[in-house]
A = this chain, B = another copy of it.
């Protein structure tokens, strides 16, 4: 596995499916499933078994023909590929309801994402804590990001402040931005941006309900 992992050229589409594989394997493991076929895994995620075999073959040999994938082993391997065995320090920018909800989100930490700081501009919020993490004024961003070795910034500020927040995060030395504001932010190519649009989930639902109701 080591060889192919390092040398393979892997498409972004494959990479974007890996977290879904990881998550589905984790749920399967919690249900007590030890071995899973690509058919079964595909059915749960909504991709074809061929797609799964193709995706996973880019990284090496994970399954046994006619048997399936060993859930725990495959999960550990995908987690390793995704870098989930590493520890990532994250910061949230903007303490509205969404920022607050993310600060309380239980599923980040088990996957290696550790909230180290929260930034806002509201004097009433500065110095307060959410889940034992302090809220700092944005003017201290560079200092705190450096000091706490924060690699990922999450943008949950109102849309009109998203670009300036992104620029500040980049200047502070952040490597990746997870943007919840519904606009495209401009940052240097070296910064990896993931844009979240919460309405995407509803849109695919709309398709299925349209079909169902005729």
Q: Which A positions have Cβ atoms within 8 angstroms of B?
A: 11-13, 15-16, 18-20, 22-23, 27, 31, 46-48, 51, 81-84, 86, 88, 90, 96-98, 100-102, 104-108, 111-113, 151-152, 159, 175-176, 178, 182, 184, 190, 192, 194, 196-210, 212-213
Contacts and interface: CB of A to CB of B under 8 A. Distances in A.
Contact of A101 (B83, B98, B151, B210): B98
A183 to B, nearest CB: 9
A12 B104 CA distance: 32
Given A22-B203, A106-B159, 16 more contacts: A11-B48, A15-B207, A23-B197, A23-B199, A23-B203, A27-B184, A31-B184, A82-B206, A96-B101, A97-B98, A98-B98, A102-B198, A107-B198, A176-B209, A194-B204, A196-B198
A20 B27 CA distance: 25
A19 B203 CA distance: 6
Contacts of A111: 199, 202-203
A198 B151 CA distance: 18
A50 B184 CA distance: 25
Given A96-B101, A107-B197, A175-B213, A82 B151 contact: no
A23 B200 contact: yes
Given A13-B48, A107-B197, A196-B201, A206 B23 contact: no
26 contacts: A12-B47, A13-B51, A18-B207, A23-B200, A31-B184, A81-B207, A82-B204, A82-B206, A83-B209, A86-B210, A88-B209, A96-B101, A97-B98, A105-B198, A108-B198, A111-B199, A111-B203, A112-B206, A152-B205, A152-B209, A175-B209, A176-B205, A176-B208, A178-B202, A192-B205, A194-B202
A201 B178 contact: yes
Given A107-B198, A205-B192, A206-B88, A16 B182 contact: no
A10 B12 CA distance: 22
Contacts of A84: 203, 206
